[in-house]
Amino acid sequence: MSATSSSSGPSRAIVVGAGLGGLSAAMRLGAKGYAVTVIDRLDTPGGRGSAIHKNGHRFDLGPTIVTVPQLFRDLWRACGRDFDADVDLRALDPFYEIRWPDGSRFAARQDTDAMRAEVARLSPRDVKGYDRFLRDAEARYAFGFEDLGRRSMHRFADLLAVLPKFAALRADRSVASHAKRRFRDPRLQMAFSFHPLFIGGDPFNVTSMYILVSHLEKEFGVHYAMGGVAAIAEAMAHVIADQGGELCFGTEVDEILVDKGRTTGVRLIDGRIERADLVVSNADAGHTYDRLLRNGSKRRWTPERLRKRRWSMGLYVWYFGTSDTAGMWRDVGHHTILNGPRYEGLVRDIFIEGQLSEDMSLYLHRPSVTDPSVAPEGDDTFYALSPVPHLGFPHHADWEAEGTAYQEKVAAQLETVIPGFRDRISASHVMTPPDFRDRYLSPHGSGFSIEPRILQSAWFRPHNVSEEAEGLYLVGAGTHPGAGLPGVLSSAEVLGKLVPDPARPVSTPMGLAAE
């Protein structure tokens, strides 16, 4: 039942966690010739990208958009497959609409002339600044994404080599600071600086390298996968199975085993031991080092160092379905960002003060305008997401006590854009930071693991190849290069370059039965 090592070289791999990073890693290892087993405590693939179903509504629990589809196409190609034959992507136009309390709106699109027109409509004097911002974003994309983001940064010498480029691109400035230098209108400053929130970062403290997201959107567009990101995860699971790999759900890894400095396999929560030549952890990097490697001494990622990390914000997410709403709320599209009265002050409350504010900004997802499969005919499916403080602050919110009141505040804001929705709710589900902690084993219930500040990025972030044990690798949001679908897929691409080809490929699965 347990895996055994081949005397001619490594051939078997265990991947802990079936999030998008773990599934990508398993696909790349399978393409190399490893016999791969993926183990996940949930009952379905995808991790944060999974879905639940209630009363005919499908709720996509996590990411909702695909911004760099060629990363998926490259992954499938490495496995000898065609991504577009397995997944139906639909380009969105507009990508999203941003709304402010004064009634003004901004629609983000791929077409540059259309974007210039949107900028000019709000602030004609900022059009030249927009053009400069685009050039800035492209330069940071070439360096930060195509270069640093797609190679390992585990050697300190690699960091030293790129410091001059970091300095030249003023990586010391924040995203918000850079946007303020290019736009005079506060609304446009927000519209071109909020993107780090999509990966758990404070726009007023995250390095300006992350303005590269604006180039990603312009160059590659924003897409939605029919069936949601969960459909991508299911397609990835099918590729792994076709490679001869095995996916074991409802099975939890309790410890990564290390003997004389080398990873030897894992111990499951029920005490069973599974041997392997290498282990890839797609569990949160904090959970990996603090829990899964709890019995070993650590050179770098000690409990003390983990305590000093700054973690991404938590998330309050209300998933709900409405009945008989076809044709209603025609001006509400697939993605809408509803700004509260404050921007910088609210972000500071969330990331610095750790206090639950009276006001909020919401991200409203309405996939039913694109994908009829998310709801019964004539109905709609939504989720409303509000960034909130994580649970690591001394006086964090008591969600059991405060959750109902907060939901009422969210509902009051939603009534301004989808009036009467409460009377038509046919399904409802809420996730708060404690749910992220318990479902995903995310430290402090954070939504995106370690915050991507400059001194928590690249070499400073948990590496894809661990220095704590030979044969241990990490992928996912908490590792290099970071969170978001492009980040977690790139972490597996980096892994593929680090892991050697097996000396003797093995095509038979390990034989670990799913619970």
List, as one string, the DSSP characters of 211-270: GHHHHHHHHH--EEETT-HHHHHHHHHHHHHHTT-EEEES--EEEEEEETTEEEEEEETT
- At 9 the pLDDT is 47
* CATH fold of 12-49+229-308+452-498: FAD/NAD(P)-binding domain (3.50.50)
Three-class secondary structure of residue 356 per DSSP: coil
- Cα 508 to Cα 382: distance, rounded to the nearest angstrom: 42
In the predicted structure, residue 138 carries a pLDDT above the cut 90: yes
- Cα 515 to Cα 77: distance, rounded to the nearest angstrom: 32
Residue 247 has φ and ψ, to the nearest 5°, of -120, 120
- At 504 the pLDDT is 61
Q: How confident is the model at residue 347 (pLDDT cuts 50, 70, 90)?
A: very high
- At 505 the pLDDT is 59
In the predicted structure, residue 6 carries a pLDDT above the cut 70: no
474 or 515, which is more confident: 474
514 or 63, which is more confident: 63
In the predicted structure, residue 102 carries a pLDDT above the cut 90: yes
- At 273 the pLDDT is 97
Question: Whole-model pTM above 0.75?
Answer: yes
What percent of the chain is predicted at pLDDT more than 70? 96
- At 164 the pLDDT is 82
Three-class secondary structure of residue 297 per DSSP: coil
Find residue 319's DSSP bridge partners.
383, 429
In the predicted structure, residue 73 carries a pLDDT above the cut 90: yes
Most distant CA atoms of the chain, gap in Å: 69
Q: How confident is the model at residue 171 (pLDDT cuts 50, 70, 90)?
A: confident
Q: Which two tokens stand for residue 85?
A: 């034959």
- At 10 the pLDDT is 52
> Can you spell out the DSSP letters for 32-55?
HT-EEEEEESSSSTBGGG-EEEET
Judged by average pLDDT, the poorest of 43-47, 387-391, 458-462, 486-490 is 458-462
- At 101 the pLDDT is 96
- At 503 the pLDDT is 67
- Cα 37 to Cα 116: distance, rounded to the nearest angstrom: 49
Q: How confident is the model at residue 438 (pLDDT cuts 50, 70, 90)?
A: very high
| Residue 334 CA, distance from chain mean position | 19
End-to-end CA distance of the chain: 14
326 or 342, which is more confident: 342
Three-class secondary structure of residue 96 per DSSP: strand
Domain spans in the chain, listed from the N-terminal domain onward: 12-49+229-308+452-498, 107-218, 314-443
- At 160 the pLDDT is 86
Residues 328-340, mean pLDDT to the nearest whole number: 97
- At 326 the pLDDT is 85
Q: Which two tokens stand for residue 234?
A: 């299911």
- At 5 the pLDDT is 43
In the predicted structure, residue 199 carries a pLDDT above the cut 80: yes
Residues 12-39, mean pLDDT to the nearest whole number: 97
What value does the mean pLDDT of the chain take?
A: 93
